[in-house]
Amino acid sequence: MTERYRLALVREPALSPIGAAVHRPADLAGFADELLRHEAQEVVICLHLDRSHRIRGYQEISRGGLDSALVDLRVLFSGVLLSGASAFALAHNHPSGEPTPSPDDLALTARIAKAAELLGLEFLDHLLIASGRWASLRETTPW
């Protein structure tokens, strides 16, 4: 017997920031912090936005260990494309409490930026969330 697979988007009651407009990295960081602040392990999320940079939703991309999480670009971009988002931002927590980007964070950001450009998607930022503090890779590193 051949197996069939079905992929579906699920509508759920929205958290308060859904629909909120994003004007600067701090807006994204506030939403990401709300989602990630209590996580004991590294979690990577993707925030989906429309053309006007209003938050449409989010997707958990990966859940890792205490100091790393693997990001599969196919998972990341399939969610962005299926949601119909025009723009997106990545965010992940650093359970260590230090929002300084690692070399892996920088390499991942560069790969995502290249892929987003090829797909015609706007990659707004990659945020690191740590104990109420955060860092924007868009603001601190050239891509």
Q: What is the mean pLDDT of residues 69-80?
A: 96
pLDDT tens for each residue of 86-121: 999 999 999 999 999 999 999 999 999 999 999 999
Q: Tell me the pLDDT band of 133, cut-offs 50, 70 and 90.
A: very high
User: Alpha-carbon distance 108 to 73, whole Å?
Assistant: 9
Return the sign of the alpha-carbon dihedral for residues 136, 112, 122, 14: negative
61 neighbors 71 (Cβ within 8 angstroms): yes
* pLDDT score recorded for residue 16: 58
Kindly report the CATH number that applies to the domain delimited by 31-46+56-103+121-130: 3.40.140.10
How confident is the prediction for the chain on average, in pLDDT?
Answer: 91
Q: Rounded to whole angstroms, how far apart are CA atoms 118 and 135?
A: 26
